[in-house]
Amino acid sequence: MSLPDGLRNTSQAKNWVDSLPLSYKYSAGVSGQRFAEGLKQGKILGSKCSKCGETFLPPSLYCPNCFVYSSEYVEIPPYGEIYSFAEADGKAIALIRFQGVTGGLIHVVKRPSAGKLKIGLRVSAVFRPAEQRKGDLTDIEFFEIRPHT
Amino acid sequence: MESKKTLPGTPITGAEWENEVYSFRKHSVQLRYAWDAGSAVSGFLEGLKEGRILGRRCNRCMRVLVPPRAFCERCFRSTDEWVEVKDTGKINTYSVSYVNNDASRRDKPLIVAVIEIDGASPGMGFLHVLGEVEPSKVHVDMKVKAVWKPRDERVGAITDIKYFKPLEV
Amino acid sequence: MRRVAVVGAGMTLFRHRMLETGKEMAFEASRMALDQAGLDIKDVDSVVLGSAPDAFDGVHMKGEYLLDGAGGTRKPYTRVFVGGGTGVFVPIAAWWQVASGVADIVLVVGEEKMSPLLPHPQYAFWSIFDPILERPLGVTLLWIFSLEMRRYMHVYNVSEEDIALVAVKNKRNALDHPAAQLAANITVDDVLKSEPICWPVKRLDVSPTSDGAAAVVLASEDVARRITDDPVWITGVGWNVDSTYWTNRDLCYPEYLEKAANMAYRMAHISDPKKEIDFAEVYDPFDYKELHHMEGLQLARRGEAPKLTREGVTQRDGDLPINPSGGLLGVGNPIAAAGMMKIAEVFWQLRGEAGKRQVKKPVRRGLAQAWGDLMQVGTVVIMER
């Protein structure tokens, strides 16, 4: 559209500069709270659907497929497999999947002293000492490559 | 529903929230914007810089639109010409604000009003604040006049008008 | 057009802050609605979700974020938004699908998680205003409500006492609602003496900010007849939106709502709403809004709603009960969920399932309404047994 005649050139176009600073405080949720408490105890907790029996990580209050309440929280052994990874700023970030579990965790993988990271390598969670844990994912310091894989 | 004694949900009390008895995550974002005023409102702001209030006329419905727009939203056609209206008007409605936009209390209450601008079509006006008047003295239909910032402080913004004050007769 | 029935409803508690995430609240309400209808998620053809501005929880794809909690995974799924009018617009968007034959069963979900925003959820509303002409003045949502309230009081000579009667009634009605956040026995004097926030709006004139969710299930006639003996029919829907130039219209009367209501009345073959609507859940984020909306809905003549309220007509045992649920003022205001709470209340009232909240007179036809954005949106649903 052409400019209205009162505005003869675009140098008269105006704008207003301002900011929208937003701060948030999120509750972890019912299942998130259980997950956080598990991490504090050095456990990785998933949830199991009461209908199809599928196990989800992170845990969920409900099964997204059957849309019914989860029946229980189950401890998932801290041994997983690199599903995919990315390397940036000298750090390796991987999506780690666990056997028989839908979902997984995104976390830091400690580079092996010899050889390269590969999809399919088996990894295990290294938890921080109990007194340093805060109830979030950083309670796992990193995943490391399990020997003999 | 009545058979269900309790509905689902886990309330968090104020103390639980403050003392963080549950797991919480905090996050902040600072979004900065430069909002374009567009063709019509840029002309309006240029007028404010000159100490004038401008509207746009739609030659089909003959309304003088304040704030001005590039198109008439009722006739759905481009507006036709600029019209200089007055910097006086009357109070359509007003209120006294004790809070800021984050719900915190203000140090001093602020009187806010919708001003119907003289020379615009009936009922046409914009939002602004009132000054030089006590809240108890304000009334609907009160005549008011714009108090402008000094020329060298005007930048082409709605705040080039400091406030509206009662028009002394 | 096919007939459309409501066959189940559910909701969570409404509270200032909840542990549940938005997804979890959406699930709880949806599961309860499906259970009442005796349905499984695999029976659901399509899901429609409503939620208010993204700024409350800072997830700027809130529809997609909430999807699995609303049962929408791998289904035709839509999020709709018309500000505060959203709660009553979600069932309208779902109605389109069933009436047109696109879907037989639609899950309808309203969700709101307002508590995460610091220092106060109120701040999110700053982002709805015109950035050039209004935000530089420091505008708040409370300004526009109080400006509208003041204009309404001026034009129809309405007193603050008359308006306070609405807050007293609704907070008392809410004592019987199991989800209620701000149920109370208060007096007109309590309202008048409560702290001024943005005069004439005082603390007790306003609904709270809330977390919560509510859901209903819509079904086509053949499905409804199969799964329930007691369907409630949606017989009229209407919606209308005016421009954002709210300073250019007379705020004393919501014309856009009149248009939305007339659209719904035409569809439901209603010519005299005051006589033909048995009770209504009208949008009451502020007490004066109930009066304003009764007039826009033509359940009262212009300026007449305060008189009807004074005379007790709008009480649960009155001739035209308004907000028997306790409304937003009493039950709470998780925006899109609050509108859906009204839909659920009309459903429960028409089925005689409202327990202590059940209105005294027999009811056959009820109305739910919501309103929002910059005083520009009207959404209306009429239901019949």
Residue A95's CB is within 10 A of a number of other CB atoms, namely 17
Q: Is residue A2 part of a domain?
A: no
Facing A3 at nearest CB: one of B36, B39, B68: B39
Q: Is the pLDDT of residue A12 over 80?
A: no
- List, for residues B70-99, the tens digit of each pLDDT value: 999 999 999 999 999 999 999 999 999 999
C138 and B101: CB-CB below 8 Å? Answer: yes
* A26 contact B CB<8A: yes
C29 contact partners, CB below 8 Å, separation of at least 6: B8, C10, C11, C12, C109, C110, C111, C212, C213, C214, C215, C337
Structure-block tokens of residue A21: 């600073």
Domain C4-118+208-380: state its class: alpha beta
- Cα–Cα nearest to B12, from C181, C65, C120, C11: C181
- List, for residues A79-124, the tens digit of each pLDDT value: 999 999 998 888 899 999 999 999 999 999 998 777 789 999 999 9
For residue A84, report the phi and psi dihedrals to the nearest 5 degrees. Answer: -160, 160
* Confidence band, pLDDT 50/70/90 cuts, at residue C199: very high
* B113 contact C CB<8A: yes
Facing B24 at nearest CB: one of A1, A23, A26: A26
* A88 contact B CB<8A: no
Strand partners, C199: B96
Domain boundaries, chain B: 38-166
* A29 contact B CB<8A: no
Pairing relation of β-strands C279-281 and B77-78? unpaired
Q: Is residue A45 part of a domain?
A: yes
Structure-block tokens of residue C332: 């709470």
ipTM: 0.91
Answer with the residue of higher pLDDT: C56 or C206: C206
- C-alpha dihedral over B54, B59, B60, B64, to 10 degrees? 20
Q: Is the pLDDT of residue A6 over 90?
A: no
Facing B42 at nearest CB: one of A13, A24, A28: A13
Task: State the residue for tokens 């049962």.
Answer: C71
Distance from CA of C116 to the nearest CA of A (A): 5
Which chains have 3 or more CB–CB distances shorter than 8 Å to chain A? B, C
The helix or strand, by DSSP H or E, that contains position B163, with its residue range, turns out to be strand B161-166
Structural domain of residue A119, as residue ranges?
28-145
B1: nearest CA in chain C? Answer: C353
Answer with the residue of higher pLDDT: C351 or A18: C351
Facing A16 at nearest CB: one of C17, C30, C131: C131
Q: In what order do the strands lie in the sheet with C377-384?
A: C77-80, C46-50, C105-113, C211-220, C4-11, C232-241, C377-384, C365-372, C279-281
- List, for residues C72-117, the tens digit of each pLDDT value: 999 999 999 999 999 999 999 999 999 999 999 999 999 999 999 9
For residue C136, report the phi and psi dihedrals to the nearest 5 degrees. Answer: -60, -20
* C253 contact B CB<8A: no
* B15 contact A CB<8A: no
Facing A7 at nearest CB: one of B17, B46, B81: B46
Facing C131 at nearest CB: one of A18, A25, A30: A18
A29 and C73: CB-CB below 8 Å? Answer: no
Residue A2 has a pLDDT of 44
* C345 contact B CB<8A: no
* B76 contact A CB<8A: no
Which chains have 3 or more CB–CB distances shorter than 8 Å to chain C? A, B
Mutation target vs A (from C12, C27, C59; most A CBs, 10 A cutoff): C27
CA A119 to CA A109: how far, in whole Å?
12
Between positions 105 and 144 of C, the ones with CB within 8 A of B are 115, 119-120, 122-123, 125-126, 131-134, 136-140, 142-143
Residue A21 has a pLDDT of 84
Q: Is residue A16 part of a domain?
A: no
Q: What angle is formed at CA B130 by the lines to CA B124 and CA B136, rounded to 5 degrees?
A: 110
- List, for residues C13-41, the tens digit of each pLDDT value: 999 999 999 999 999 999 999 999 999 99
Distance from CA of C198 to the nearest CA of B (A): 4
- List, for residues C261-279, the tens digit of each pLDDT value: 999 999 999 999 999 999 9
Residue B28 has a pLDDT of 92
HSE value, Cβ hemisphere, 13 Å, CA-based, for B1: 36
Task: State the residue for tokens 């969700």.
Answer: C111
* A23 contact B CB<8A: yes
Strand partners, A72: A48
Q: Tell me the residue length of chain A.
A: 149
DSSP C192: H
B50 contact partners, CB below 8 Å, separation of at least 6: none
CA C259 to CA C123: how far, in whole Å?
31
- List, for residues A25-69, the tens digit of each pLDDT value: 999 999 999 999 999 999 999 999 999 999 999 999 999 999 999
CA B115 to CA C148: how far, in whole Å?
13
- List, for residues B4-33, the tens digit of each pLDDT value: 568 999 999 999 999 999 999 999 988 899
Query: Residue C31 CA to chain centroid, in angstroms?
Result: 21
* Confidence band, pLDDT 50/70/90 cuts, at residue C137: very high
Q: Is the pLDDT of residue B1 over 80?
A: no
CA C168 to CA C163: how far, in whole Å?
9
Q: Is the pLDDT of residue A1 over 80?
A: no
Domain count, chain A: 1
Q: Is residue A131 part of a domain?
A: yes
Residue A18 has a pLDDT of 86
| Three-state DSSP state, B149 | coil
